[in-house]
């Protein structure tokens, strides 16, 4: 009988020890996580946006593209560029992409391609349907509303320009209005 009590006593102690070890290792993990958090650079307001300088990419895209590549000029500083690419697709169509975080914290991008306009819309504004029109700088743009994104598009010469994202139409139109070759 005494033997069993001894085992139970050990089990009780072992149980408490396991919990204590768990709490200690948890505290150690939290300590490491806190140190990592404090040493990783954060911008002042905890904003994870990584801003890119797209000037070099723009210059090389302008040299390579078979159409006048557009980029915004004179946008307020709250517009922050976050992504830029220029590439040819397997069919040989040239695509220019410039992504921004808008002043409202939404996403907006400039997409230009010499591929068929519907291909561009299918890729960027999935589930798109016409949603009226906008006049931007005296030119007619067509509005599209998709499943997740909306966009305004215009075709000029061989290139279609699409300004799209989760941003509102007024923000998308502000970006479109700032575009210059």
pLDDT at position 91, please?
A: 92
98 within 8 A of 117, measured Cβ to Cβ: no
**How is the chain split into domains, by residue range?**
1-40, 55-180
Phi (first) and psi of residue 23, to 5 degrees: -60, -45
Q: Which residue has the higher pLDDT, 14 or 159?
A: 159
pLDDT at position 118, please?
A: 93
Q: Which CATH architecture has domain 55-180?
A: 2-Layer Sandwich (3.30)
> Running DSSP on this structure, what letter comes out for residue 69?
-
Residue 169, SS3? helix
Strands (E), 10-93: 71-72, 80-88
In angstroms, the CA 85 to CA 91 distance is: 17
> Hey, what are 3's tokens?
């033997």
What digits encode the pLDDT tens for the residues 70-128? 999 999 999 999 999 999 999 999 999 999 999 999 999 999 999 999 999 999 999 99
94 within 8 A of 65, measured Cβ to Cβ: yes
What digits encode the pLDDT tens for the residues 23-73? 777 777 776 666 666 655 544 456 678 999 999 999 999 999 999 999 999
In angstroms, the CA 181 to CA 10 distance is: 79
Phi (first) and psi of residue 68, to 5 degrees: -70, 115
Q: Which residue has the higher pLDDT, 178 or 27?
A: 178
Mean pLDDT for the stretch of residues 168-176: 98
pLDDT at position 108, please?
A: 98
């Amino acid at each position: 009988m005494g033997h069993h009590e001894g085992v139970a006593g050990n089990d009780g102690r072992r149980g408490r020890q396991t919990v204590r070890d768990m709490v200690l290792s948890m505290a150690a993990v939290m300590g490491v996580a806190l140190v990592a958090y404090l040493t990783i650079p954060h911008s002042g307001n905890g904003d994870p946006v990584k801003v890119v300088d797209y000037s070099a990419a723009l210059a090389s895209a302008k040299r390579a593209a078979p159409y006048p590549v557009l980029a915004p000029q004179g946008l307020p500083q709250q517009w922050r560029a976050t992504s830029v690419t220029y590439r040819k697709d397997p069919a040989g169509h040239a695509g220019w992409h410039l992504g921004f975080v808008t002043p409202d914290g939404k996403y907006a991008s400039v997409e230009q391609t010499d591929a068929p306009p519907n291909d561009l819309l299918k890729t960027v504004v999935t589930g798109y349907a016409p949603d009226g029109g906008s006049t931007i700088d005296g030119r007619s743009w067509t509005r599209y509303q998709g499943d997740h994104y909306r966009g305004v598009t215009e075709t000029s010469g061989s290139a279609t320009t699409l300004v799209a994202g989760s941003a509102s139409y007024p923000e998308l139109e502000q970006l479109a209005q700032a575009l210059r070759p």
